[in-house]
Amino acid sequence: MAQSGIPVIDINAADEATIGQQLVDAAEEHGFIYIRNLGQDISAAQVDEAFALLFDAPLEEKAACAIQTNNRGWGGLHSETLDPRTQKVGDFKEYAYLLDKFEDNTDASKTRLEAFRDVCTALCSKLLRLIGNGLGVGDFFAQAHEIKPGDECDTILRLLRYPPPSLTTHTPSDVRAGAHSDYGSITLLFRLRGQAGLEVQQSPDGDSWAPVPVHPPGTARDPSPPILVNVGDLLSYWTGGLLRSTVHRVAFGGDEVDGESAADPRYSIAFFSSPSPSTVLGVVPSERVRNFVPRSSNSSSSDSANPYAERRVMRADEHLWMRLAETYGDLYKKEEKA
């Protein structure tokens, strides 16, 4: 177990039914999972190359590709506020979503990043199939993530850079990235060795946070840091809250783990997987989902205790738009008026 209690799962150590059960148990309890021993799924060299391509384009070229309501583009320091309810200043980070006009401004870089995105897509498909096996629904989720004719892909590769704290003006209450949960189905997070900052919320009131080390115990000799996988809001909603979407943030300091520091620039790559936009988030034909009762419920009736029974059915793109509007409110208000 890691310091935050997040389990480490070897996704190639047993049969798919066993691994699927382990993933579902971890997703229900923690929402976050470390995965290791990736075999042919993704190599350390592919991850290292993706990091090497981060943010080399000139500022004026990146600014010309500013974030739009199609959830593509580049954003500079403070352009995103992940926790608008409590943040006084926007996030201390620069980010770029993989898009057609900007990837290091060279065709070679674009091709390599697109290849990395394809590898991430394949890994997410495997994980969704394993989770489906753990819930007894087989390829139910994996098939929903296959893009249907006429749909655009909402799956995104996101590149992030946090400048050194010494080069930013901030207060003790500021954070590098505000408290939030992810929007889609599952997220793959790639990090560099020794870079602290990621924390998961351990109490609903937001007063207790635990660091998520890049290398949890027992993985220091792995070729590259284990990939951190977390459940997003959409998959949590789809499963009636059974699979947990955990709130997390990036702090300036906090409780750092031995061998890690938040003093330097921080780089990460996030791959956000989402189903085809026209997918209807209806009933998941799983007995475990159907019988799940949230821990916070005090009702003795399973129908009334389980919000799944009265959950609104919506399309995947409706759910995504709802969450994006909360983060990029002004941008989406302009789109509505246009």
CA distance 196 to 209: 14
pLDDT at 56: 58
Nearest to 191 by CA among 265, 97, 255, 247: 265
SS3 at position 55: coil
Q: Is residue 183 part of a domain?
A: yes
* Number of residues in the chain: 338
CA distance 131 to 94: 32
What is the side-by-side order of every strand in the sheet holding 8-10? 8-10, 32-36, 227-231, 186-191, 266-273, 156-162, 94-97, 74-75
pLDDT at 100: 45
List helix spans (H) across 212-301. Answer: 233-238, 287-290
Q: Is residue 227 part of a domain?
A: yes
CATH number, domain containing residue 17: 2.60.120.330
Q: Is residue 161 part of a domain?
A: yes
Distance (Å) of CA 133 to CA 15, 16, 23, 125, 260: 11, 7, 10, 12, 36
pLDDT at 326: 72
Q: What is the amino acid identity at position 214?
A: V
Extended strands (E) in the chain: 8-10, 32-36, 74-75, 94-97, 156-162, 177-180, 186-191, 198-201, 209-211, 227-231, 248-250, 266-273
Token pair for 289: 């989902």
What is the side-by-side order of every strand in the sheet holding 248-250? 177-180, 248-250, 198-201, 209-211
SS3 at position 162: strand
Q: Is residue 201 part of a domain?
A: yes
Q: Is residue 74 part of a domain?
A: no
pLDDT at 216: 92
| pLDDT, mean of each 10-residue run, the chain (338 residues) | 79 92 97 90 87 66 62 79 89 77 54 87 96 97 88 82 92 92 95 92 80 92 92 95 95 81 91 93 94 63 50 88 71 47
Q: Is residue 268 part of a domain?
A: yes
pLDDT at 139: 96
Structural domain boundaries, residue 240: 8-51+108-288+310-325
pLDDT at 102: 45
For the chain, the 3-state helix, strand and coil shares in percent, each to the nearest 5, are: 30, 15, 50
Write out the H or E segment, with its range, that includes residue 1.
Answer: none
CA distance 323 to 304: 26
CA distance 126 to 85: 36
Q: Is residue 262 part of a domain?
A: yes
pLDDT at 85: 87
pLDDT at 38: 83
CA distance 24 to 287: 13
pLDDT at 294: 80
Domain count, the chain: 1
CA distance 110 to 98: 9
Distance (Å) of CA 78 to CA 18, 54, 90, 102, 207: 43, 19, 4, 20, 24
pLDDT at 154: 74
pLDDT tens digits, one per residue of 144-169: 999 877 777 778 888 899 999 999 99
Q: Is residue 98 part of a domain?
A: no
